[in-house]
Amino acid sequence: MIPPDHPRYRSLEVRERMAWFAREGVVSPEGLAAHGRGEAFDYLLGERSTESALLAARTAAALLLSARHPVISVNGNTAALAGREIRDLQKATRAVVEVNLFHRTPERLDKVTRLLEGHGVAVLEGEEERLIPVSHDRGWSHRDGAVAADVILVPLEDGDRAEALVTLGKKVIAIDLNPLSRTARAATLTIVDEVTRAIPAITRAAGNLSRGEGEKLISQLNNSYFLQAALDEMAARLTHALD
Ligand code: ATP
Ligand code: MG
């Protein structure tokens, strides 16, 4: 039991949740390590959404709302952390939600799908094929899933697949706390923020974005700006950490 007045309560509570989902087989053991890398970058960001991350989330909402076939690709960590948040974003954008796992087994696929459905998410099910050109199991997709998307949101993505999706001509929106990762650099747009803050920020923006503002945000999109802004935030905090 974590005391609610512990200064690191939120972080410890999330860790406890992730450990529980790992025991349940929703999160892979490797997913716990990936979570730890995310935590380290979040510490450097100050565990808050920066101005530039909020602007990136607003741009993400514009891309999703303007899409012909928006898709949200969900892995085990994202499902464990943000099931409800994904439901709300799906409602706001009418996106298709597809489960996509690096450590893929039929049992895990089923567990992640049921967890999302328990939160009210409509999950794409049925036959899948290896339709995305990567040499690992993130290559599986339904015909109406990632492979059919024109805009795809990939929280906690793998660099290989992010690159492959861009090569297939898709607009790829990544959520990744590490602005240096291959995913963050390959994506069309990267939101450098924690997934449980970034997804609600996209949903909120989708609820109050005019068509005109959306078009302007898309025409101004420059991912290097968002990555550099995140690096600048982290660098400033490191430089003045002991002030
Ligand atoms: P890449 O494959 O893009 O080069 P990587 O191999 O370093 O990246 P992965 O293990 O593929 O990283 O994925 C984990 C990524 O997800 C890390 O970059 C980590 O910072 C990020 N991450 C982990 N947890 C969260 C979270 N809760 N919110 C946002 N990002 C997160
Ligand atoms: Mg990787």
Ion ligand 2 — residues with CB under 5 Å? 158-159
Q: Among all chains, which residue has been given the structure tokens 């989330």? A: 57
Nearest-atom number in ligand 1 for the CA of 156 is 16
42 Cβ inside 6 Å of ligand 1:
no
**Euclidean distance between CA atoms 84 and 119, whole angstroms:** 5
pLDDT for residue 208 is more than 90: yes
Distance 18 CA to ligand 2 centre (A): 19
Specify the pLDDT at position 92: 98
Q: Which of 173, 177, 196 to mutate to test the pocket of ligand 1 (most atoms within 8 A of CB)?
A: 177
Residue 174 CB-half CA count within 13 A: 29
Tell me what pLDDT residue 225 has.
98
Assess contact for 190 and 184: CB atoms under 8 A.
yes
Domains in the chain: ranges and CATH? 51-238 (3.40.50.12640)
Q: CA triplet 209, 211, 215: central angle to 5 degrees?
A: 105
- How crowded is residue 127: how many other Cβ atoms within 10 Å of its Cβ? 6
pLDDT of residue 242: 86
- Closest-lying ligand 1 atom to the alpha carbon of residue 41: 20
Ligand 1 atom with least separation from CA of 176: 30
- Which pLDDT score, from 0 to 100, does residue 39 have? 97
Instruction: Return phi, psi of residue 74, to 5°.
Output: -120, 130
Residue 195 has φ and ψ, to the nearest 5°, of: -60, -35
- Mean pLDDT, residues 17-39 taken together: 97
Å from CA of 184 to ligand 2 middle: 11
Ligand 1, atom 20: closest residue by C-alpha: 38
The pLDDT score that the predictor gives to residue 1 is: 81
Bridge partners, residue 5, by sequence: none
Residues 140-183 have pLDDT tens digits of: 999 999 999 999 999 999 999 999 999 999 999 999 999 999 99
Residue to mutate (ligand 1; options 183, 194, 195; most atoms within 8 A of CB):
183
Helices 195-206 and 51-66 pack at an angle, to 10 degrees, of: 60
CA of 181 to the centre of ligand 2 (A): 8
pLDDT of residue 209: 97
Question: Is 134 close to ligand 1, i.e. is its CB under 6 Å away?
Answer: no
| pLDDT of 199 above 90 | yes
CA 49 – ligand 1 centroid, Å: 17
Q: Percent of the chain scored above 70 by pLDDT?
A: 100
- Sign (positive or negative) of CA dihedral 167, 171, 173, 178: positive
Average pLDDT estimate for 108-135: 97
CA distance linking residue 169 with residue 149, whole number of Å: 9
Does residue 85 have its Cβ closer than 6 Å to ligand 1?
A: no
pLDDT per position as a tens digit, 32-60: 999 999 999 999 999 999 999 999 999 99
Query: Does residue 71 have its Cβ closer than 6 Å to ligand 1?
Result: no
| DSSP-based three-state secondary structure for 234 | helix
